[in-house]
């Protein structure tokens, strides 16, 4: 059998691709509700793990338009889970196996004020009320790592106390996205609750050293420097296995509109080397932006820094501009067939707020395995 070929830019030639391992078809299907769904990164990954989203809930219309476009078999509802009058919404919820989602994290994030009295910290209560109403077999709550240390650990203790009172066995862990095939060093906290006595096991890392991690070159080197109209054909062959994965089932390239910078901005970016930052600039330019992440250029040979929501401080490893929405989506592991709707500003925010689908997929597979094992347990184990 002839293996497919990929062009390796670094070796200036084509090489054979090792055949991918066979993935067993998931016969049993489980259903889920995605709360604070955004554009649907968690849902996209979970669906590929055999857990289908029945309902997505968010209070941002742009994100739900993108969600609906990419999840045509799922329903969605525009609801603010921070409201107090949720009785009608609660009464119409479908019974599902899993509830997952990530409440807005600005109140928890290190980039915010980290005020324990921030009302956004209480949005998890909306998540909690849905779980209490449905009592799914498993729930997953995702957030920034700082949630675990917020207010001296008292906030996470309160959250875990609430869910434990419902009868859930809890397990939490901070996962690094680049350990699971995502070309981005993004750390997220996952709290999983199960009703079964079976232990839940988080997935083991698949890439723990820099040699096996997917880097920015692997993710982006087949995308051109200039803008492309939506649906444009690929202008060069895939140069990595990751690019082949991202291209699968996509009719072309979408969301690849570059940002036009001023001449001075482009000049300053050009002075920063691959993987460099403001420290590499001449003295007269070092203080032009008053943040410590200013003028940071991604390293072609490493995973990217955490994708933000369009703050314009991180730049392409080669081109003198910020990454496009599509390039940012690639670094988040959204495949090219996943199309973002709304203004470009909105698209950047949707990408930056999402859970990387490849990370969601491996967590979803662990939950799927847990559900199967719990279903096969003897009555005395339940």
Closest among 99, 93, 85, 81 to 32, alpha carbons compared: 99
pLDDT at 146 over 80: yes
3-state secondary structure of 18: coil
- Cβ atoms 8, 222 nearer than 8 A: no
Helix ranges (H only) for the chain are 41-47, 61-70, 87-91, 124-134, 154-165, 216-220, 241-247, 263-270, 283-286, 325-332, 344-353, 357-376
Condensed to tens digits (0 to 9), the pLDDT of residues 312-342 reads 789 999 999 999 999 999 999 999 999 999 9
How do beta strands 51-58 and 75-78 pair? parallel
171-230: per-residue pLDDT in tens? Answer: 999 999 999 999 999 999 999 999 998 999 999 999 878 889 999 999 999 999 999 999
Residues in a beta bridge with 76: 56
| Mean per-residue pLDDT over the chain, rounded | 88
Q: What is the pLDDT of residue 270?
A: 97
Domains of the chain: 30-205+357-381 (3.40.50.150), 216-353 (3.90.120.10)
pLDDT of residue 41: 98
User: Percent of the chain at pLDDT above 90?
Assistant: 71
Residues 88-138 have pLDDT tens digits of 899 999 999 999 999 875 555 555 555 656 666 567 788 999 999 999 999
Reduce the secondary structure of 47-86 to three states and give it as a string: HCCCEEEEEEEECCHHHHHHHHHHCCCCEEEECCCCCCCC
pLDDT at 5 exceeding the cut of 60: no
The answer to whether residues 180 and 130 touch, using CB atoms and an 8 Å cutoff, is: no
> What is the C-alpha separation between 186 and 354, in angstroms, rounded?
11
The confidence band for 294, taking pLDDT boundaries of 50, 70 and 90, is confident
Longest dimension (CA), the chain: 72
Phi, psi of 213 (to 5 degrees): -70, 150
Task: Clarify whether 105 is annotated catalytic.
Answer: yes
**pTM, two decimal places:** 0.89
Distances (CA, A) of 363 to 46, 130, 214, 232, 357: 8, 21, 18, 33, 10
3-class DSSP state of 5: strand
Cα-based torsion angle of the residue sequence 374, 380, 381, 382 in order, rounded to the nearest 10 degrees: 60
Q: Which of 39, 105, 141, 367 is catalytic?
A: 105
Indicate the pLDDT class of residue 15, thresholds 50, 70 and 90.
Answer: low
Q: How confident is the model at residue 114, as a pLDDT? A: 54
Looking at residues 359-372, what average pLDDT do you find?
97
Q: How far is CA 358 from the centre of its chain?
A: 8
Contacts of 231 (CB under 8 A, 6+ apart): 251, 252, 253, 254
Given a cut of 50, whether residue 304 has pLDDT beyond it is yes
Give CA–CA dist 74/47, Å, rounded: 11
Task: Check residue 286 and give its pLDDT.
Answer: 85
Burial of 343 (0-12, 13-18, 19+ CB in 10 A): exposed
Residue 239's alpha-carbon distances to 11, 132, 193, 298, 358, in angstroms, are 11, 48, 40, 18, 20
| pLDDT value, residue 377 | 64
pLDDT tier at 19, thresholds 50, 70, 90: very low
Residue 370 pLDDT level (bands cut at 50, 70, 90)? very high
Q: Return the structure tokens found at 119.
A: 């009302």
Say what percent of the chain tops pLDDT 70: 86
């Amino acid at each position: 059998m002839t293996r497919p070929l990929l062009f390796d830019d670094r070796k200036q030639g084509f090489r054979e691709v090792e055949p991918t391992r066979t993935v067993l078809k998931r016969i049993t299907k489980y259903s889920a509700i995605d709360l604070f769904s955004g554009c649907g990164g968690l849902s996209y990954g979970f669906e590929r793990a055999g857990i289908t989203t029945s309902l997505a809930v968010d209070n941002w219309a742009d994100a739900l338009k993108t969600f609906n476009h990419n999840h045509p078999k799922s329903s969605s509802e525009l609801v603010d889970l921070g409201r107090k009058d949720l009785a009608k919404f609660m009464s119409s919820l479908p019974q599902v196996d899993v509830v997952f989602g990530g409440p807005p994290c600005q109140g928890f994030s290190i980039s915010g004020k980290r005020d324990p009295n921030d009302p956004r910290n209480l949005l998890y209560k909306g998540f909690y009320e849905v779980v209490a109403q449905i009592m799914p077999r498993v729930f997953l709550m995702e957030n920034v790592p700082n949630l675990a240390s917020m207010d001296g650990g008292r906030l996470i203790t309160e959250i875990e106390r609430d869910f434990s009172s419902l009868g859930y066995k809890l397990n939490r862990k901070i996962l690094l996205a680049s350990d699971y095939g995502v070309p981005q060093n993004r750390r997220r906290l996952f709290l999983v609750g199960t009703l079964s006595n079976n232990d839940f096991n988080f997935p083991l890392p698949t890439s723990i050293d820099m040699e096996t991690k997917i880097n920015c070159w692997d993710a982006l080197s087949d995308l051109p420097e200039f803008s492309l109209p939506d649906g444009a054909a690929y202008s060069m062959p895939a140069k990595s296995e990751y690019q082949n994965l991202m291209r699968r089932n996509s009719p072309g390239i979408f969301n690849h509109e570059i940002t036009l910078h001023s001449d001075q901005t482009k000049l300053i970016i050009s002075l920063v080397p691959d993987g460099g930052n403001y420290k590499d600039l001449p003295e007269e330019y070092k203080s032009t932006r008053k943040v410590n992440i200013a003028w940071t250029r991604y390293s072609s040979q490493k995973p990217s820094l955490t994708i933000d929501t369009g703050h314009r401080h991180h730049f392409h490893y080669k081109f003198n501009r910020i990454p496009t929405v599509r390039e940012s989506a690639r670094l988040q592991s959204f495949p090219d067939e996943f199309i973002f709707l709304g203004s470009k500003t909105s698209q950047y925010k949707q990408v930056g707020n999402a859970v990387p689908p490849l990370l969601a997929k491996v967590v979803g597979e662990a939950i799927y395995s847990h559900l199967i094992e719990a279903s096969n347990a003897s009555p005395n184990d339940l």
